[in-house]
Amino acid sequence: MKRAEYEAKATAFRALLNEIASRPQNEQDWPDFPDWLSVPGTSTCTTPTCVVFGQPFRVTLHENADGIFRGMCGQCGNPITPVPDLED
């Protein structure tokens, strides 16, 4: 997917998430998981002592209201900053 195309979708989706979050808790009707905006990405552990250090893994990234993708290494548990696979 093109970066600009995803960013347009993500901007709208983040606005929806923030709008839902601003409602009273009993009126917060979050999107179902299959409807949650996601994009393929790559996660690579950057902890030098980890057995999978530097090995890229394909992951599915789910959009967050703050627009930041977060991940965790499945081997060492350290946080990873995943990168969405988008074309410029």
Contacts with Zn ion, residue ranges (CB under 5 A): 45, 47, 50, 73, 75-76
Q: What distance in Å separates the CA atoms of residue 40 and residue 25, rounded to the nearest whole number?
A: 31
Work out the burial of residue 43: count CB atoms within 10 Å of its CB; fewer than 13 is exposed, 13-18 middle, 19 or more buried: buried
Closer residue to Zn ion (CB): 17 or 43:
43
Evaluate whether 47 touches 57 at the Cβ level (below 8 Å): no
Residue located via tokens 């997917």 = 1
Q: What distance in Å separates the CA atoms of residue 86 and residue 88, rounded to the nearest whole number?
A: 6
Closer residue to Zn ion (CB): 71 or 84:
71
Smallest separation (angstroms) from Zn ion to the CB of 51:
7
Closer residue to Zn ion (CB): 60 or 78:
78
